[in-house]
Structure formats: structure tokens, C-alpha cells
Amino acid sequence: MSDEILNVKNLTVDFGGVRAVNNVSFVLEPGEFVGLIGPNGAGKTTIFNLITNAIKPTAGEINFKGKSILGKSPDRICQLGISRTFQNIRLFPQMTAYENVELGFHSAPQYSLAEAFVRTPRARRIEIDTRKKAMELLEMVNLKEHSHARASSLPYGLQRRLEMARAMATNPELLLLDEPAAGMNDDECNDLIKLIREIHTTKGYAMIMIEHHMNVVMDLCRDSRIYVLNLGSLLAVGTPTEIQSNPDVIRAYLGEPKHD
Amino acid sequence: MGYINTIIILGGINIIAALGVAILTGYTGLFTIGHAGFMALGGYMSAIFVKELGVPFPIALLLGGTFAGLCSFIIGYPAFRSELRGDYFAVATLGFSEATRLLLNNTRSLGESINAAESGIGMAFKFLGPLLVKLGGVFGYMSLPSPTNVFVVVVAVILALFFAHMFVTSQYGKNCIAISQDEVAAQMMGVNLLKTKMIALFVSAFYAGVAGGLMAFYFAYLTPSFFTITKSSDLLAAVVFGGIQSLIGPVITGFVLVLFPELLRTFAEWRLIIYGFLFVIVMIFRPQGLLGYVEMNFYFARVWWNKLRRRGQTSQKG
Amino acid sequence: MELFIQQLVSGISIGAIYSLLAVGYALVYSVYNFTNWAFDGFMAFGAFMGFTAITSFFMPFWLAALFSIILTVILSVGTEKLAYSPLRVRKAPRLFMMISAMGVNLATVNIINLVYGGVFRKFPIDTLQPIFIEGVSIGRMDLMAGGISFGVLALLWVFLYRTKWGLGIRASSIDILTASLMGINNNAVAIIVFAVTGVLSSVAGIFYGIKYAVFPMMGIVTIKAMIASIVGGLGNLPAAIVGSMILGILETMVSGYISSTYRDLFSFLFLIIILLFFPNGLMGKSGDEKL
């Protein structure tokens, strides 16, 4: 109980008359990798938005490492250890790939304002160290050759990887990936699966991954569990095999069979 | 010769104020049409420190700048803290600048009524009365010392440019740039929007305040009519034409925009009209301005230097 | 007491003028998400066109007003087509839109200044005798300004909430992309929104010119209306009106009971203080960004 990294209880949010997330509860242990799937509009990204406080819940609790993070500003939540990527990719378009990743390291500046104006040896050392770490992350996601390219000029697939590197730069304990495989073909998906697995094993983050590519989800979550969301409510939880054979899940995705 | 000196001094003062706007608008993406107000606050405060309190000139400049920076919190904090839709900050900069000018216009009459007050609220501010009268309202704050000369201005510009460069290349400056490109993503990645914006605003107001002080000590007097919307527009123009996310750009245009009107006196009335059209044209055809996104960057200097050396080597071999 | 009623009526009339401006600002902001600085210039333009129509073309008031409205609409829609829409199709950041808008404003105001000069002019309308109700003199012009302004706003309300075009605009204010996908013609919406802007700013300009004076920088009052509508809560046209009315009445009271010199200072301070206590405005809807 005390070991949990994320504990969400009865999370609910209403937008006008629509209940986008309805009484969702789940628990995550440190280092766990879980999937979050569901038809479009099920509320998956909304849950990410709630966890990072991009939007405020109507009801429920969100506890990170045992403490509530409700009402904390998004930047504070990031500093506490939760980071994410975005469904619609939100890189800093005119900054280079390197600069995008580096931002994750210094979003909370590592030296004082005075040292910014007169760069002390200590500040310079910090900057050199940060540069090294940023390049390591870029290398990990295979973007080192593109480090000087403007983020907006990168192809879509590379942008998704860049976003992951940037999120990792904030040194999270919980990493939220929002459809990292969107728009990828099978080969790219396989590379992505390898990359995400490597990230998980080397960095040890707890991770929640929203994804629509079933093979990606089933592969990465084969030793773990998948949450299925539909119309804002948790429909099912289970291993990939259990989920795939769950009639409610099938019905949610394919709809009711027609009877003439 | 004196004419050239004037151009250098006025150009330098404009450059310093324009650098302030560059930091706020060019680097942090926050539109401001109110920096004349910060120039006024810094200018008058520096003048008061020197003339009434005998503070040495350079220190007075810094104090004036700091005062302008602190005043910026009046609009900065409510604007950046709130989650209002609407360009509250941008609109507030205009309101703030005009309100400041209004206040300064009325210093003398306010001071006179305080001096004459026999009772009431005025009594609490009795000590301010004579000072306010001295500030002169619309008639101006007169007989200031004038130590501003070419040397002072050149030194000031060099220092201003150096520190501005340090700021924008620092982690703080990079956070500002991130805010200008996608503020929501920046916040999600851990940037504290309120703090970062307020820092950028403070620095930029400080620069404007110092410029105001230099101005006071050049003209040897100050009047609120120096600090109109036109002045704010001129500063914005230096950044729009000089380039977003650039320091060198606004330095060049900041100087040129002082030079040209002097050379083309006949077109004085047309100046703002031309600026207006240019704003639209620049935004549509070349939004990055003259030198946008190109920064005095030792990276570029090194690349260029290497290219030269390689050319030198190949010509030796061949 | 008489002073109070007089000030109240005057305040309501200026509040009504502010409401026109605030709604114009809020409308453009809610659909296009940027501050239309050129609004300032449009208001002055409207006032000067009305002025010229009467003094140079000897039109009767109603014709001059129509003349002014039509010309201002042309200016407003022209600005949208030439200065805003090229940027919008490129998804230019809000900063660029504002710079372009400021450019249009600078050009407009300074052309007016060049052509007419900075002299304060009296709007050439016969000062009608004030009406006396229970011994309180109430400016006829104030009543007219208030009445017509509210009439215009009522027409706008009917347009926005009872017509197909209005529905299109309201849909666009929520999400332009979705609205266009649902078949709403974005170009038509743009023309209508800016035509409405033109109407609102010219009517406000004429009445402001009548109440105070006509001069190139007169549009500066739009900032008060802008702040009032932001603080009232954007995305919410009634709130813009409420904010403007409160501001108009309060500042007239200050002007009447304390001093007119400090009126603008008061307005500005008032708005800052409201914001300190109500960081989300008084009645605003929050705009959730899609992540």
C-alpha cells in the first residue's frame, strides 16, 4: 500500500453535461508498465490531463507517492516526477531537437538568476553536464544525428521519439505516453516496441501507455496488465490474453452485433 | 560633430530600451505596447535620486531601473497568475503606460493640492507635496544634471548587450523561448510560467528604466510627453523589424530607427504610418524580421571561421 | 441626489458605449483568439467619417451615421482580408496577429492624424435641450446613446442566437476547425464577424464623439472596454456588457464626485484590483486547451 507510486480513486470529470471520466480507480506500483486502451473518445487522454492537472477533476483523488497532487500546478507535478508525451505532439517547433530535450533538464533552472547574468564556473559546469545528459538521451532514442535540426522539420516518427526524450529529460518516476505509435507502420512499430522496452528496463520508470496499435500494446504489456476504458468508465482490467477474449471489450470496440 | 554625438546617444538609449522589449516580446513572446511607461518610471526615479538625494549617477540609473522592474509586478503578477482568456497582459501594458503618463501629468497639481490641504487624506502625504510639485506635471521635471555623453552611452550599450546575451542564453532565457513557442507544453515539462514571465518582465522593465534615466540625464529635463504610445510603438518596431528571438537585430534596427527619422525630417508625419504598414507586411512576408532566430552565436562564428581556414588551406595546396 | 441621478444616467450612457466596444472585442477574441488592436483605429475612423459626412457633405445625422457605418465596415473587413487572414491560414502565433493588428492601428490613427490634424473637434450635432425629469436634467444625447447602443446590442443578440449565421459564428467561437468541418463557411464567418466589428466601432465612435470630442487618439478608450470585457470574463458576451456597465457607471461617479482627472487612473486601478481578487474574471468560462 505504501509502495504505490500512483493511486487514483473515483476520478470523475464532467464537461458541461458530458461525463468524460466516470469513477475511475486504479493503482500503480513503482516501475510497473501498464497499457490504457479504449475506443476513441473513451477518455484516455483526459485521464492523462487529469493526472497532470491540465484540467481539474469534478471529483476523486489522485495520489502520487502517497501524497495528493490535486490542485498542484502542472509544472509542480512535473517537478514531483510525472512527465508525459502528447497525443498531438507538442514540441517547441523552432527549437532544435537538442534544445527540446535540454529544456526538460532546466525547466526548473539549476542555477540562480544572478549566476545566469554572470556565468560562474559552477553554472558552466552544470551546463556542460546537462549538455552531456541531453546528448545521451538523444542517442538513446536514435536522434543524435538530428540534434541540430529544427523540431518542426523532423518527420513525424522522429518527432514522437523526440517527445519521449524530452519527457525523460525531466527525470520522472512516472512516464505517461500518449499514443506513441500513432501513424507508424509495422516496421516503425517494431522499432518503437524495442525502444520503449529498452527505456523501461534501463530507466525503470513506472509507465502508462495509451495506444491504439493492438500489437504494440499486447507486446509491451505481455508481462503486465491493460486497462480498458469505454465512455469514461473502466470496462475491464487484465492481461493481454484476458482482455482480448473479454466479450465486453470486444463489444465496446466492435459494437453490438446487428439482429435483423 | 555634436550632431553625430546626439545620434549616437539617442540611438544608444533606444537600443537599450529596445533590448528590453526584445527580451519580453522577442524571446518570451509577450506583446507589449507599454514600455514607455517603464522608461518614464525609471527616468523619473533616477532623476529624483540624483537631484533630490544626491546619489551618484550610475547608481541612480540602476536604482531607477530596479524601480521600474518592481513596478512591473503591478501588472505582471495579476496578469500572469490568472488563467483568463484574453490578452490581459498586452492590453494592461497599454493601460499601465497611459496611467503612468497621466499620473506624471498631474504631479504638480496633486502636489499643490497636498501642500494646500489643511485636513483630510492630504495630511498623511504632506511630505510628498513639495516633491510632487517639483516633478512639474506637464511642465516637466527641470534642471537635471546631464552627465550622459557618448562614452557613457557606449559603455551602457555594451553592458546591456552583454547581460542580455547572458540572460537569453541561460537556462532562464531558454525557458522564456520555450514559453514563446508553446507555453502549455513548457508548463507540462516543468516550467513555472508565472515566475519565468515575471523575471522576463522585470529584466525588460529594468532595461527600459535605465534607458529612461540615461534620457533624463541627456536632455537635462523630463516631461511625460516623452513617454507616449508613440515611444512604445517605436520600441516595438525595433523588435518587429530587427527580428524575433534576436538581440543583434533589434540593436541594429534600434539604432537605424533613430537615425532615419533624423535624416528624413520631412517624412516625420509619415513615419508611424509607414511603420504601421511595415508591421503588416513584415508579419505576412518575413515574420522573423531582419535577423530573427539568428543570434550572436559563437557556434556560427566558429563554423564561419573554420570555413575560412579550410579555404585558406586549400588555396595553399593548390 | 440630482447629481447622483445625472451621473448615473451619464454613466449608463458611457457604459453603453463601452459595451459596444467590449462586445466587439470579445466577439473577435472568442472566434479568433487575438486582440484586434485595430479596433481603436476603427472607432476613430467611424467618428471622423460621420464628422466629415456632416461637415463636408452636409448629410443629415442618420445618413451620416449610415455612411460612417458602411465605410467602417469596409475598412474592418478589408483589414481582415489583407492583414489577418493571410496570417491565420498559416496558423501564425497570436503575437504575430497582434503585431499585424497594431500595424493597422498605427496606420489608421496616424493617417487620420495627418489628414485631419490633432485638433479636438466638436461633433456637429445640435445640442438638444436636456430633458427634465423631476428637476433632474438628463442629457438627451445620453439617452439616445444608451438607447441606441442597447438597441444595437439587442439586434446583435438576436442575430447571434436566433439566426443560422449567428449559430455559425458561435460554433466557430468554440472551435473553428470543427465548425468548418461541419460545413460552416469560415470565410463568411470572418466577413460577418468583422462587419459586426465595423458596425459596433463606428456607432461607438459616433456616440463617443458626440459625448466628448472627435480627435485621432480617441480610440484609446477601447482599452478600458477591452480590460472590462476580459475582467468580466471573455467567451461570454453578457459578461462583457456587465463589466462595461459597471466600469462606465463607477468611473463617471469618480469623475463627478472626485475629479475627472483621475477618472482614467481609477478605471485602470479598479480593473487591476478586480483581477487580484478574481483571477479568473468575474463571470468567465475557462477555455480548456485541447491537449
CA atoms of B47 and B52, how far apart (whole Å): 8
Backbone φ and ψ for A62, nearest 5 degrees, come out as -130, 115
Q: What is the mean pLDDT of residues B154-171?
A: 95
* Chain C interface disruption, residue of B284, B286, B293, most C CBs within 10 A: B284
pLDDT computed for residue B86 by the predictor:
63
> Which one-letter amino acid corresponds to residue A124?
R
**With 50 as the cut, is the pLDDT of residue C113 above it?**
yes
Residue B128 in grid coordinates = 510628498
Greater confidence (B249 vs B87) lies with: B249
CATH ID of A6-81+172-254, from 3.40.50.10860, 1.10.357.10, 3.40.50.720, 3.40.50.300: 3.40.50.300
Per-residue pLDDT at C242 exceeds 90: no
Which chains touch C (3+ CB pairs under 8 A)?
Answer: A, B
Is the predicted pLDDT of residue B75 greater than 60, yes or no? yes
pLDDT for the residue numbered B298? 46
Write the pLDDT tens digit of every residue in A100-140. 999 999 999 999 999 999 999 999 999 999 999 999 999 99
CA angle C208, C230, C113 (to 5 degrees): 35
- Determine contact, residues B41/B71, Cβ cutoff 8 Å: yes
Angle (CA) B120 B124 B126, round 5°: 100
Integer Cα distance of C176 and A15 in angstroms = 19
Inter-chain CB proximity B287 and C280 less than 8 Å? no
For B189-195, what is the mean pLDDT? 95
Paired with A21 in beta bridges are: A13
- Average pLDDT on C148-158 reads 84
Q: Do A45 and C291 touch (CB under 8 A)?
A: yes
CA quadruple C182, C187, C192, C194: dihedral, nearest 10: 130
| Residues belonging to chain A | 260
DSSP string, C220-237: GGHHHHHHHHHHHHSS-H
pLDDT of residue B182: 93
Instruction: Encode pLDDT of A33-65 as tens digits.
Output: 999 999 888 889 999 999 999 999 999 999 999
The answer to whether the CB of C6 falls within 8 A of the CB of C136 is yes
Inter-chain residue contact A74 with B293, CB threshold 8 Å: no
pLDDT in tens for each of the 260 residues of chain A? 467 899 999 999 998 788 999 999 999 999 999 999 998 888 899 999 999 999 999 999 999 999 999 999 999 999 999 999 999 999 999 999 999 999 999 999 999 999 999 999 999 999 999 999 999 999 999 999 999 999 999 998 899 999 999 999 999 999 999 999 988 888 989 999 999 999 999 999 999 999 988 889 999 999 899 999 998 999 999 999 998 888 888 888 766 555 54
pLDDT computed for residue B313 by the predictor: 58
Of A84, A109, A111, the CB nearest to B188: A84
Q: Where are the domains of chain C?
A: 2-127+136-217
What pLDDT does B299 receive? 47
In three-state secondary structure terms, C284 is coil
Closest residue in B to A168 (Cα) is B189
Q: Which of B154, B158, B152, B207 is nearest to B26 (CA)?
A: B207
C106: closest CA among C25, C38, C194, C49? C38
Cα–Cα–Cα angle for A169, A174, A180, rounded to 5 degrees = 75
Least trusted range by pLDDT, from A121-125, B48-52, B248-252, C146-150: C146-150
- The highest-confidence range among C17-31, C39-53, C248-262, by mean pLDDT, is C39-53
Distance from the B22 Cα atom to the nearest Cα atom in chain A, whole angstroms: 16
Q: Report the alpha-carbon distance of residue C267 to residue B287 in Å, rounded.
A: 35
Least confident of B94-103, B274-283, C137-146: C137-146
Q: Which of C100, C114, C276 sits opposite B78 (nearest CB)?
A: C276
CB C227 within 8 Å of CB B95:
yes
The percent of residues above 90 in pLDDT, for chain C, comes to 30
Residue A174 vs residues A7, A164, B76, B227: alpha-carbon distances, Å: 12, 13, 33, 51
- Local structure of A141: helix, strand or coil: coil
Share of chain B above pLDDT 90, in %: 58
Kindly give the pairing relationship between strand A233-238 and strand A226-230.
antiparallel
Contacts of C7 (CB under 8 A, 6+ apart): C252, C253, C255, C256, C257
Provide the domain limits for residue B160: 2-317
User: Domain with B160 in it: what CATH number?
Assistant: 1.10.3470
Do the Cβ atoms of C25 and C170 come closer than 8 Å? no
Q: Model ipTM?
A: 0.91
Provide the chain B residues 166-195 that lie in CB contact (below 8 A) with chain A.
Answer: 166-167, 170-175, 177-178, 181-182, 184-193
User: A59-64 and A67-68: which strand pairing?
Assistant: antiparallel
Q: What are phi and psi of A228, to 5 degrees?
A: -115, 125
Non-local CB neighbours of A198 within 8 Å, separated by 6+ positions:
A140
Q: Give the pLDDT band of residue B168 (cuts 50, 70, 90).
A: very high
Chain-chain contact of C35 with B90 (C-beta, under 8 angstroms): yes
Helix (H) or strand (E) holding A33: strand A33-37
3-state secondary structure C126-141: CCCCCEEECCEEECHH
Q: Do B182 and A103 touch (CB under 8 A)?
A: no
How far is it, in rounded angstroms, from Cα C64 to Cα C58?
8
- Written as nine digits, the cell of B214 is 540615461
Number of independent structural domains in chain B: 1
Query: What is the pLDDT, as a whole number, of residue C133?
Result: 67
Confidence (pLDDT) at C290: 47
- Give the closest of A106, A118, A119 to B175, CB-based: A106
pLDDT of residue C21: 92
Cα C38 from Cα C25, distance rounded (Å): 10
Read off the pLDDT of residues C165-217 as tens digits, 9 standing for 90 and up: 788 888 877 777 777 777 777 888 889 999 999 999 999 999 899 888 899 99
Where in the sequence of chain A do the CATH 3.40.50.300 domains occur?
A: 6-81+172-254
Q: Within an 8 Å CB–CB cutoff, is residue C288 touching chain A?
A: yes
The closest CB to that of C279, out of B81, B273, B287, belongs to: B81
Region B284-302 average pLDDT: 70
DSSP state of B267: G
